Chains A and B, each alone.
Chain A
Amino acid sequence: MPVILGSELGLINARVRRVMGVQPAAAPTMGTKVLAFINFKGGVGKTATVVNLAATLVKLHGKKVLVVDLDAQSNSTLWLMRPDQWREHVAKGRRSTFQSFDDAFQGKERFNFDEAVVQGVSTWTGFTELPALHLLPAAVDLLRVEDRIHEMKPSLAPRLLDRVLSEHFKRYDFVLLDCPPNLYTTTKNAIYAADGCVVPYVPDYLSLSGFQVLAEQVGEMRSRWESTLPRRRRPNISALLVSHYRQSGNVFRLAINELELSLAQLRARDVIPATTAVLEPYVRHCVRVAESTSEHLPVILYAPGSIGAQDYADLAENFLKHFR
């Protein structure tokens, strides 16, 4: 009997491995697109956009997506992992994005991508969903990166992430880098490693003024790094995504209009490329999205019928068209 059991298990095992290898009717791979989600204004929906866009691209479009959490607050990590799992996974900063920076400071190579990456989203069944959604988690230790960055040669400081991770990025259709709400070293590393930047945006004047500064800053970085970047990569603001949108009243429509006018000015001055677009639909405020953080699930798994899930589904369609 045990021999039969062993062979039965072997058969199941083979089937399980086959399941792991199958993607849902994926479109042909177009080459990896690495995108840094940046905005030095907080609360604009960076994490919500990264997590939910990534999950939608996997679930509905069969894409293989890596989310890289670069924010010491670890919000996209804690959205996709339960706190107990996260604490165990990143104990002492190991198996997190922090390790890739720390290795550079210590001159060691302890970061192991395959051990650090979390595959799939844990559900309450105990098994994962969305096996093609991978997460490179953050650790609070990332706060220490800024303290130690002066130990590096200034020209090397923005290239740490690219050096360690770019080889691994090739396994994915999309790599979404969730950045902290600032333009310090980790964000600069993300911009350096990325093919383009995506700016989550809340339609109000404070966001607009911040965006104008952000666009100039990214332009300056591009000029500064021109000689060291691979030819195909010129970090630009590729797209803006509007979140926390409310249709009532005229406040938001007017604010979006001012954003569009600002983009036209920046395009005319060559600060951003002509292809930079505000992708639609604008993601509306949705309480189910907020709830889904407590369930540690993207909204497409937690509340697929909600307006939040609908907005992200349509946004993913237009995101794919834009970055095709």
Chain B
Amino acid sequence: MNYRELATALEQLAHRLSKHADKLEGEALGSQAHRLLEDARKVAAQVDAHLASRKSGEWLLETLLRSPGAKRHLTLNALRKLVRETLGKRLKADALPAAKRELIDLAHAQASGQAVADALRGYLSEAASVKTGKKEKDALQQEFVALGSLSDEEFREAAGNRHLAELRRLASANGIPFTPKTPKVRLLHLIRHYGQRAVVNLMPPV
């Protein structure tokens, strides 16, 4: 059941109660109605609290603090910086969970839930961004394919005399794994093999 369906059911009940109010009586109905009224008041209080929390931005702030993105990216230092910049305060807590609770209290006290939530959203968005040297990578990928299409002799001529650092950049940009100990000969072999493979795999199958 969703809340719209609940609203419809309550409307229908309210309508029936209103229409037949003069005919309704009896102990069983009375005690059931009393329980419903008590529960209804509790639900009303919850609904009000929820709406207030949404309006102030605190609900969003709590959602973001509990979000998967926060778990991955949000550090204590980042949270401290965020609090300094948005609320002009220093966090006292020295552990992340306590710092999150302190932030919620501070935002509530300063009625700044929305501003803090916006700042946190910006931080998480920035943290999820991928920073790549796209142009350099594109050039190295093109070079990789070009080397893959050469004959063995041409490849030796084109790549054999290159510096190790240059070969490492080429390998790194094209997903070829190596360690600082990988010798130049091995690196050349890997670039040769995976370059040839890429050329074959890039041919359209039909």
Interface of A toward B, CB cutoff 8 Å:
1-13, 15-20, 22, 24-25, 59-60, 62, 119-120, 126-128, 131, 205, 208-209, 212-213, 216, 249-250, 253-258, 260-262, 264-265, 280-281, 300, 304-306, 309-310, 312-314, 317-318, 321
Contact B1 A126 (CB under 8 A): yes
B residues apposed to A, CB below 8 Å: 1-4, 6-7, 10-11, 13-14, 17-18, 21, 24, 30, 33-34, 36-37, 40-41, 43-44, 47-48, 50-51, 54-55, 57, 59-60, 63-64, 66-69, 71-72, 114, 117-118, 124-125, 127-130, 138, 141-142, 144-145, 174-177, 194, 197-198, 201-202, 204-206
- Are B40 and A9 closer than 8 Å at their CB atoms? yes
**A residues less than 8 Å from B48 (CB atoms):** 15
Contact A312 B1, beta carbon cutoff 8 Å: no
- A8, A253, A280: residue with the most chain B Cβ atoms closer than 10 Å: A8
Chain B residues, Cβ within 8 Å of A59: 63, 67
Bound-complex Cα distance A159 to B41 (A): 51
Closest residue of chain B to A59, judged by CB? Answer: B63
* Chain B residues, CB < 8 A from A3: 17-18, 21
Least distance between B105 CB and chain A CB atoms (Å): 20
Determine whether the beta carbon of B202 is less than 8 Å from that of A262. yes
Contacts of A9 in B (CB 8 A): 10-11, 13-14, 17, 40
* Inter-chain CB contacts under 8 Å: number: 184
B158 to chain A, nearest CB (A): 18
Partner of B59, one of A5, A18, A24: A24
CB closest chain-A residue, reference B205: A209
Contacts of A127 in B (CB 8 A): 1-3, 6
Closest to B130 in A: A280
Measured between C-beta atoms, what is the minimum distance from A125 to chain B in Å? 10
**B33 & A60 in contact (Cβ 8 Å cutoff):** no
Beta-carbon contact of B67 and A304 below 8 Å: yes
A1 touches B69 (CB 8 A): no
What is the CA–CA distance of A36 and B24 in the complex, to the nearest angstrom?
56
Q: Given contacts A24-B63, A264-B141, is CB(A317)–CB(B128) below 8 Å?
A: yes
In contact, A250 and B176 (Cβ under 8 angstroms) = yes
- B69 near A12: Cβ-Cβ < 8 Å: no
- Contact: B41 with A250, CB < 8 Å? no
Chain A nearest Cβ from B199, distance in angstroms: 9
Q: Is the CB of A13 within 8 A of B67?
A: no
